[in-house]
């Protein structure tokens, strides 16, 4: 086996693929986001290298005619030796200096079948260029008159452009026949491997994104995906206490939840907080999210039951900026979660209660919320940094 069966780009492609597989093994031991991102880049480079190697290197690999000719001559000699051995008792073993290689056999001792077989061996192993040369030489002997030179095929012609283009082609890589077959087979395997690894790398990116979607500190930019896709990979935390606003401001947190496609109830006690949230989220009220954001006031019908049903079915999100309404809505929320648990009902999309009030979240309500919220697909976000 020779190292020339692969070029530099081919070996690089294999090494990059192996490095990506090693990073995937490390990822399953200790999940890190950069393992998946780097492995994807490695697999993409391996795929491009494999394509480049196949079209630029393997396409130039050809069978070496010198090696092929040597093999043909060896087979011819083997056939002649076998024929001599089989007829050794019937032919003379005398060879004169003026005899050619074919004259070594005494044809006097051979019948017509042996003669035809010997002639077939000689003609079969004679290269085409040698046959052409003999024919051209014999034709010149037969007729070398001036008329034949004028009317003949051998006339002076201008340079053929196609011949010049062929001379400018990249020099082929000459290998033995076995090496050429092996090179093409390995190249095919490398192309298939790089393609399968590329699809696997894309799948790994998707799995990693889903795994981190409900992890506050690790989640990437949100996409409005069904919660049923996210929770099997990353369970939703029931209570986020003391973690929120460490990465983003409160309006940005609400924007994050909106981009996830989730519904929320934002409890605040300052008018400027409600205004900041409304200004941040106003551009998401159109297509494609079509956010329906309602600021709770004394409008008829805008009660706790309506608010609960609206967020449960993902129809609307709410801003509650009056502390006196917060406790009533929380108690209604918990009572209805108890009833939904009896029927094992779940929200189609996650629902979040965002508590951004000066007063702490009631401890008695917190324990009950933990008990019923997880099964329903709800969570509580507490901005305890304010306390």
The 10s digit of each residue's pLDDT in 292-303 is 999 998 888 889
Kindly report, residue by residue over 60-118, the tens digit of the pLDDT.
888 877 766 666 666 777 776 776 666 655 555 555 555 555 554 555 555 666 666 65
The reported pLDDT for the residue numbered 240 is: 81
How far lies 213's CA from each of 20, 29, 209, 271, 311, in Å? 23, 19, 6, 31, 21
Radius of gyration, alpha carbons of the chain: 42
Of the candidates 251, 219, 208, the residue with the CA atom closest to the CA atom of residue 27: 208
The helix-helix angle for 304-312 and 323-342 (nearest 10°) equals: 60
Chain mean pLDDT for the chain:
81
Residue 217: which pLDDT band, with cuts at 50, 70 and 90? Answer: confident
278-291: buried (b, 16+ CB within 10 Å) or exposed (e) per residue? eebbeebeeeeeeb
What percent of the chain stands above pLDDT 70?
72
For the stretch 244-295, pLDDT in tens is: 556 788 899 999 999 999 999 999 988 899 999 999 999 998 888 889 999 9
Is the model's pLDDT at 160 over the cut of 80?
A: no
Global pTM exceeds 0.75? no
pLDDT of 138 > 60? The answer is no
Helix (H, G, I), strand (E, B) or coil at 263: strand
Lowest-confidence pick of 135-149, 208-222, 229-243:
135-149
Percentage of the chain with pLDDT > 90?
A: 45
């Amino acid at each position: 086996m020779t190292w020339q069966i692969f070029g530099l780009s081919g070996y690089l492609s294999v090494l990059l693929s192996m490095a990506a597989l090693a990073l995937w093994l490390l990822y399953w031991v200790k999940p890190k986001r950069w393992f998946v991102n780097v492995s994807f880049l490695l697999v993409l480079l391996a795929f491009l290298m494999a394509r480049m190697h196949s079209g630029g290197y393997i396409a130039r690999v050809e069978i070496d005619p010198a090696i092929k000719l040597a093999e043909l001559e060896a087979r011819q000699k083997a056939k002649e030796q076998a024929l001599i051995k089989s007829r050794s008792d019937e032919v003379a073993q005398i060879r004169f200096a003026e005899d050619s290689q074919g004259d070594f056999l005494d044809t006097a001792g051979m019948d017509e079948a042996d003669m035809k077989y010997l002639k077939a061996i000689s003609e079969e192993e004679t290269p085409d260029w040698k046959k052409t040369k003999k024919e051209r030489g014999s034709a010149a002997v037969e007729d070398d008159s001036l008329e034949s030179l004028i009317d003949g095929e051998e006339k002076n012609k201008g340079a053929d452009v196609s011949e010049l283009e062929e001379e400018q082609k990249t020099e082929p890589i000459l290998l033995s026949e076995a090496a050429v077959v092996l090179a093409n087979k390995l190249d095919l395997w490398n192309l298939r491997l790089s393609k399968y690894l590329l699809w696997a790398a894309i799948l790994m990116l998707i799995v990693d994104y889903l795994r981190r979607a409900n992890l506050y500190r690790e989640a990437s930019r949100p996409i409005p995906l069904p919660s049923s896709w996210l929770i099997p990979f990353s369970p939703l935390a029931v209570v986020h206490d003391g973690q929120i606003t460490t990465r983003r401001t409160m309006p940005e947190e609400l924007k994050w939840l909106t981009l996830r496609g989730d519904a929320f109830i934002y409890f605040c006690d300052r008018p400027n907080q409600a205004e900041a949230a409304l200004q941040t989220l106003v551009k998401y009220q159109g297509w494609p999210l079509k956010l329906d954001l309602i600021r709770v006031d004394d409008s008829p019908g805008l009660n706790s039951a309506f608010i609960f049903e609206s967020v449960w079915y993902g129809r609307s999100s709410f801003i509650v900026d009056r502390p006196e309404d917060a406790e009533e809505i929380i108690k209604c929320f918990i009572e209805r979660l108890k009833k939904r648990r009896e029927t094992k009902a779940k929200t189609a999309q996650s629902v979040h209660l965002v508590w951004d009030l000066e007063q702490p979240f009631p401890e008695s309500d917190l324990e009950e919320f933990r008990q019923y919220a997880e099964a329903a697909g709800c969570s509580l976000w507490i901005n305890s940094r304010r306390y």
